[in-house]
Amino acid sequence: MALGLDDRNELKYKIMKTLKLTLTALIFALVFTGCMKERGDITEPEVEENVESVNDLVVPSSFDWKTQQTVQVFVQLPQSGELKPLIITNRDRTKRYFKGFPENSSSRTVSTKITIPSYVNELRLIYDGATGPNMAFILNETLMYDFNASKKSTKVVTCDLSGFITYSKGGWGAPAAGNNPGSIRDQYFDQVYPDDFVIGDEDGYTITFEESNDVQKYLPGGGSSEVLSENWVNPKKKDKLGNLADQIIAARLNRDFSEAGVLGDSEAEFHLGELVYNDGPFEGMTVDAFLEIAQTALSGEGLNGYTTGEIKNAAENIINSFHEGTNNGILTCPNDDDDGDGDDDDEGEDDDPFVEVSGICSDGDVIFTIDNNGEEDMETSYSYNVTKNGSEIESGTYKLDENETLDIVVSGYNTDEFVITVETPREETLTETITGCGEEDNGGGGDDDDEIDEQFQGTLAYEDLWPGKGDYDFNDLVIDYDFEITKDGQEIVQDITATFTVKAFGASYHNGFAFTLPTVAPGDIASVSGYDVENTTVFSLAANGTELGQSNATFIVFDDARRVMPQTTGGIGVNTQLEYDYIEPVTVTLEIEFVDNAITYSDLDIGSFNPFIIVNTVIEGNPGDRGLEVHLPGYEPSDLFDASYFGQAEDASDPGAGEYFVTDNNLPWAINIAEGFDWVIEFQDITGAYNHFAEWAQSGGINYPDWYLDETGYRNDNLIYPTQINQ
């Protein structure tokens, strides 16, 4: 018989009472001060309370707690030539998010869905043999691009940008400490702004900061991207003027402090405002000119033909351009042709096309890029060829305008050596070699060009006391997932290799783990193998390996974390308490074969997968409960869930309104982190370990969408388990 809620709470908290560690860590606090006063239509807010734990959070009711976004993609491929796969990556091509074809072989339009981290706002589109670079902003969770639309490339000048540095809105809003952006702000604010710091347009509405400390009290404010509807003086975080305002404020701070010579290299030939965009809707425009457009838009005086999303993203790109000193290739130098010879130098030696060749391994694809970094268009074509292990696999010619690139994509095994050889207008022969890139060589030989593997990864972290409130260390189960999805040339899913790695569990209960594919019927699955299920009393599986009694394909990965990853020493669980031994993670891999032509990759919508834990599958050595599931916030339970748990204790689920697994103030029992996640030590609230978790949640996901990364000032490592044991 299953333990009741009161028994479960009592059991866990008795254990916690006897084992609880002394809390010595710093607890992250958001400090808000100020008072309300009227100044015509100028508003200042009231004080907000400190945040010392997840229980103190004031979270928007609409916040879904997602660290990922699912983007609808519409890309028109080049109309001529052999149909080749489209590749979508991040800006620097180090992470591939999609590779595939149109679902209709006679079409040249790729329409699909991809799920990517929420902090990514633009993507690079690569098509073998197409000129570029081809960058596109994500707007309203949609990416649209046409390779056939003509565009003028930016004039690139070879110059030294090593001295530039920019900081995020959170950096500019940080309290002064050491030599951080807050210290730079405090030290030079009065020098940079001898009067007030005013953002906006005098013909419309403005935001005014009178002192450096006023900037600290506001940034980052958060909120949806909206234009101003009133004037503000010294707003506070509570006002949430919107992400459009936040990004423009931070972009202005970067530009203004650079112009004053107190940010970055004061001896640089240009200041930040004089640099120009490499790509995007503001391609070729200086930062100064863009900020004029951005502030006019923010003030309510018109968008000049752009969208608020484009302006917000372009402002954020200024912030990211040289983030903490790293040149991300977003901005370049202007052309300063004083002598009229077409370049920035004395003798005109760069007037001719100047070709550079680079190569990168992008999740198994070798992407070679030929780049014309000179200051003239090419008059004639030049040849290139690519070899694999000494044998030519591709050849062609290129003719590039200034700052235009040509991408060549090849693939193979990680044992292959790829070499590109390029003839240039300066009668040079350039080569670039890439090795160790591609799929693992299993000895099968040959490449199957008709199959493509997509990857989808992340980490899940659970509290298991639902419907009672937990301690919000989010370590009752920590499990990595890695889906490798094989599809054919028509985007039909063939199979999925789903790998789950149990990293830790801080739970006294015997919990199983499962997931549902909401768009897949059980009959679409031909077979499932690799699951670890011994408890056939609680779990019943069909002949194909899916769980019986489910309307959507549901997969039981394992039935009991404590059996799969045995506890060898004392404590509550495994790998959450430093005084007990570290145990190597345990991996369970499911091989899922699909029925022929069952579903396309777009319809699979892998980002919608619904993972959950099943609590108390074993009780005192006997088969336990199947009906007690804990899901991500907003995700529906399976058909075998016991709905009588809804509304008990702290649960405020409202199935009629589509609200599941949240408290009455919208707190969750589980989170899905888009990338690798280092979990929190037992009994430590996640807000103390991750400094920007609270700000992310209270802003509705707008501020610090990358809160989980190991960036400067993001974490308190002494509260994070892997960093304490050097894992």
Q: How confident is the model at residue 624 (pLDDT cuts 50, 70, 90)?
A: very high
Coil, strand or helix: which one is 424? coil
Q: How confident is the model at residue 14 (pLDDT cuts 50, 70, 90)?
A: very low
Cβ–Cβ contacts within 10 Å for residue 664, how many?
A: 9
- The yes or no reply on domain 355-435 and CATH 2.60.40.10 is yes
4-7 long-range CB contacts below 8 Å, 24 or more apart? 5/467, 5/468, 5/648, 5/649
Please classify residue 672 by burial: count the beta carbons closer than 10 Å to its beta carbon, then call 0-12 exposed, 13-18 middle and 19+ buried.
buried
pLDDT of residue 4: 52
Contact 50, 56 (CB under 8 A): yes
Residue 398: name the closest of 376, 381, 374, 420 by CA: 381
Taking residues 40-45, what's their average pLDDT? 36
d(CA 552, CA 543): 15
d(CA 337, CA 354): 17
Residue 215: name the closest of 202, 196, 191, 243 by CA: 196
Least confident segment among 157-166, 277-286, 330-339, 599-608 = 330-339
Q: How confident is the model at residue 443 (pLDDT cuts 50, 70, 90)?
A: low
Phi and psi angles of residue 345, each rounded to the nearest 5 degrees, phi first: -105, 175
The kind and range of the H/E element at 667 are none
Q: How confident is the model at residue 16 (pLDDT cuts 50, 70, 90)?
A: very low
Please classify residue 55 by burial: count the beta carbons closer than 10 Å to its beta carbon, then call 0-12 exposed, 13-18 middle and 19+ buried.
middle
Least confident segment among 44-48, 52-56, 536-540 = 44-48
Which position has the higher pLDDT, 362 or 526?
526
Check if 68-146 and 355-435 are the same fold: yes
Indicate the domain borders of the chain.
68-146, 169-332, 355-435, 452-687
Residues 6 or more apart whose CB falls under 8 angstroms from that of 672 comprise: 66, 67, 68, 458, 459, 460, 611, 632
Contact 600, 526 (CB under 8 A): no
Phi and psi angles of residue 619, each rounded to the nearest 5 degrees, phi first: -130, 115
Taking residues 467-485, what's their average pLDDT? 96
The kind and range of the H/E element at 185 are helix 181-192
Coil, strand or helix: which one is 11? helix
Tokens coding 407: 């991408």
Question: Is beta strand 232-233 parallel, antiparallel or unpaired with respect to 206-209?
Answer: parallel
pLDDT tens readout for residues 203-234? 999 999 999 999 999 999 888 889 999 999 99
Least confident segment among 28-37, 384-393, 428-437, 693-702 = 28-37
The rounded mean pLDDT for the chain is 88
Rama region for 128: left / alpha / beta (φ>0; ψ in -120 to 50; rest): beta
Least confident segment among 1-15, 104-118, 393-407 = 1-15
pLDDT of residue 105: 77
pTM of this structure: 0.86
Contact 370, 357 (CB under 8 A): yes
Cβ–Cβ contacts within 10 Å for residue 444, how many?
A: 9
Q: What topology is assigned to 68-146 in CATH?
A: Immunoglobulin-like (2.60.40)
Residues in the chain: 727
Rounded to 5 degrees, what angle do the CA atoms 174, 171, 62 make? 90
Q: How confident is the model at residue 458 (pLDDT cuts 50, 70, 90)?
A: very high
Q: How confident is the model at residue 351 (pLDDT cuts 50, 70, 90)?
A: low
Coil, strand or helix: which one is 697? helix
Cβ–Cβ contacts within 10 Å for residue 620, how many?
A: 8
Taking residues 332-349, what's their average pLDDT? 52
pLDDT of residue 449: 59
pLDDT of 20 above 70: no
Taking residues 612-630, what's their average pLDDT? 96
pLDDT of residue 374: 81
d(CA 584, CA 333): 50
Q: How confident is the model at residue 363 (pLDDT cuts 50, 70, 90)?
A: confident
Residues 6 or more apart whose CB falls under 8 angstroms from that of 402 comprise: 153, 155, 156, 353, 372, 374, 375, 376, 377
Taking residues 650-657, what's their average pLDDT? 96
Contact 262, 192 (CB under 8 A): yes
